Amino acid sequence: MAVSRVRASFMQCLRKSSRFKPFAVESETSSIRRFFSADSSASFQSVGFIGLGNMGSRMANNLIKAGYKMVVHDINRNTMEKYSDMGVATKETPFEVAEASDVVITMLPSPSHVLEVYNGSHGLLHGGYHLRPWLLIDSSTIDPRTSRELSAIVSSRILKEKRDSWENPVMLDAPVSGGVLAADAGTLTFMVGGPEESYNAAKTLFLSMGKSSVYCGGAGNGSAAKICNNLAMAVSMLGVSEALALGQSLGISAKTLTKVLNSSSARCWSSESYNPVPGVMEKVPSASDYDGGFASKLMAKDLNLAAASASEIGLEHPLTSQAQEIYKKLCEDGYENKDFSCVFRHFYSGDNEL
């Protein structure tokens, strides 16, 4: 009896609390939250992955290691055979991947590739207004406008199988930072745009491929964050490369000047973690003739995306334009497949002591 009285008294206090709202009428938002439940991995019984290049293959491999049932597609037949030999289901078209998946992730080189995979004759949206997957995630680096247009198209479709009160599929733009090494190690950072409830549901997927994710806001904001990040990274690398080239030309070794930069206000990722001068750091592209890493042609592409986005909104972008020209010339000079830190050679090609 005493226990019953204590329990009754406790419940009465809870009911008086403004934070306790028993049997509240479920709103539309809460129904969405219920659909995108905390145990969202149950909704990912089959994960489709399209684009198994240097980044995508490593991301897909980490999902396989995490125990997800995978369905994959790539235009490279050898890559498809490799995954088939691993026991992973392969499909001939993006549409076939969609028909076999609850969620589909794409990791593709450019906006044109993304549009073809989504809108092409055998694309993800080939089935008209009805879709099997309830969540589409694009981790490609593309412009925000394309991301927003695709998101609007996806949300106008209807799920083939209604889930709770949720009738429409959802798209997230979720580009990554970290490069091939982070993709391999599963330490990528995801920048995500789209409905927040969908982002929360997809966290289990992101954390199977990366170490962190940042919610950036509505559709297209993940793509916007990525091109801004890469713009800053390019300009930073140019500044560090020019400073180190100038220092060497004035008689300061690159190793000594790097110590100065990293102990001073100029310290940054380009000087401390990804130094562009050969011989200053180990395990970075500059230590292996700029092989591997993030190709200059991809940096040039991302700078083009940043410049186009800036022009669309009428924003002046002098540093972007200058960086564009420098990376364009690098690619024309035959360095398109070398890591973007090879821009150091644009400023300095002497043989002074490092």
Residues that are catalytic: 226
How is 203-251 classified by DSSP, letter by letter?
Answer: HHHHHHHEEEEEEEESTTHHHHHHHHHHHHHHHHHHHHHHHHHHHHHTT
Q: Within the chain, where are the H helices?
A: 2-16, 28-35, 56-65, 77-85, 94-99, 111-119, 144-155, 179-185, 196-209, 221-249, 254-262, 269-272, 296-312, 318-330, 344-347
Amino acid type, 270: S
Neighbours of 296 (CB within 10 A): 26
Distance from C-alpha of 298 to C-alpha of 208, rounded to nearest angstrom: 25
Q: Please give the span between the terminal C-alpha atoms of the chain, in angstroms, as a whole number.
A: 83
Torsions phi, psi for 52 (to 5 deg): -110, 50
Torsions phi, psi for 104 (to 5 deg): -125, 130
Pairing state of beta strands 47-50 and 70-73? parallel
| Three-class DSSP category at 314 | coil
> To 5 degrees, how large is the angle CA 266–CA 270–CA 274?
140
Amino acid type, 66: A
